[in-house]
Amino acid sequence: MTAVVGDDERSRATLWMEEKLRRFSAATTHRILLRRGREIGMWVGCGFPKSGTNWLCELMGTSLGLPVPVDYQLPLMMKAVVHSHYMYDERMPPAIYIRRDGRDVMTSFYFYWTRATQMNKNPKFARGISEIFDNLYGAGFDPADVQGNLPKFIEYQMTVAPTTHGVSWQQHVRDWWGRPGVGHVSYEGLLEDAAGSMLTALTEASGEEPDHELVELAVRRHDFSKTAGRTSGEEDRRAFRRKGAAGDWRAHFTREAGEVFDSFAGDELVEFGYEADRTWFDALGG
């Protein structure tokens, strides 16, 4: 008797295969990037997850006149901007690194993970996130209780999560800090002056001044209001580009969350220019 494969099972198998191809292609692209990236004319756009790396790569692509492949299922071996969260490697072609206030990163990560539990694109990832939340908060987990959940979430991201995705926020930023052949932008700087930030970073990375008109075009084309369909600061928790603003952490951090973050990355928060000293969380309520 022939077994009948249902639509749901077929869909799961397709998603599993697509994700496997994406992972293989990304790993192979990384090897090509290190060995032949400079020769081919590739660029790297990099940042810690949830730091605005997608936006950076879009700006780079238009500014340089290069494609920015997304969800590719075949390895890349062409002139392109490669989106990444890599650690620094001196063999890389020209790169631009984006940093963002780690408190906003943690907040954005929280909303991304709670949204991921409802996504069908990567069922395995969604199940894994659900298991993490169950272990952290128990069966009664309420994703809407952001303030109550953030302290444990931040501690997890600073301790357990780096064992699976590499390093913590502050370690990743420091690894790219002051490297040769790397241009630097901040998420906050892009919000304030995207064109000026990109012109400086592209020059730092390549040693050549970029085309100003293309950079201006990139800024207009990839403005948050155009790509997200709403103004910066207007929140949509169901969207990948949730809010597009700096300082959103202030609406969600309690004093406890601030103390937890400071215990892991307080020195770096000051060093990277986000606070003047380590008393910033004293004014937080909750």
What single-letter DSSP state applies at residue 2? Answer: P
CATH number of 7-101+170-227: 3.40.50.300
> From the CB of residue 225, how many other CB atoms can be counted at a distance below 10 Å?
11
- Distance from C-alpha of 96 to C-alpha of 203, rounded to nearest angstrom: 10
Mean pLDDT, residues 229-253 taken together: 64
Q: What pLDDT is attached to residue 20?
A: 86
- Regarding pTM above 0.85, the answer is yes
Sheet holding 81-84, edge to edge: 81-84, 43-47, 95-99, 182-186
Q: Which residues contact 253 (CB under 8 A, 6 or more apart)?
A: 103, 107, 147, 150, 261, 281, 284
**Positive or negative torsion for Cα 284, 158, 44, 233:** negative
Q: Comparing 286 with 91, which gets the higher pLDDT?
A: 91
Tell me how crowded residue 56 is: count the other CB atoms within 10 A of its CB: 27
pLDDT per residue as tens digits for the range 74-89: 999 999 999 999 999 9
What are φ and ψ of residue 216, in 5° steps? -65, -40
- Computed from CA positions of residues 23, 174, 42, 244, in that sequence, does the dihedral angle turn out positive or negative? positive
Which stretch of DSSP H or E encloses residue 46?
strand 43-47
As a whole number, the mean pLDDT across the chain is: 88
In the chain, what are the domain boundaries? 7-101+170-227, 103-167+233-283
> pLDDT tens, 183-196?
999 999 999 999 99
Q: Tokens for 75? A: 């390895």
Q: How far is CA 263 from CA 4, 106, 165, 248, in A?
A: 55, 14, 21, 20
- Model pLDDT, residue 2: 45
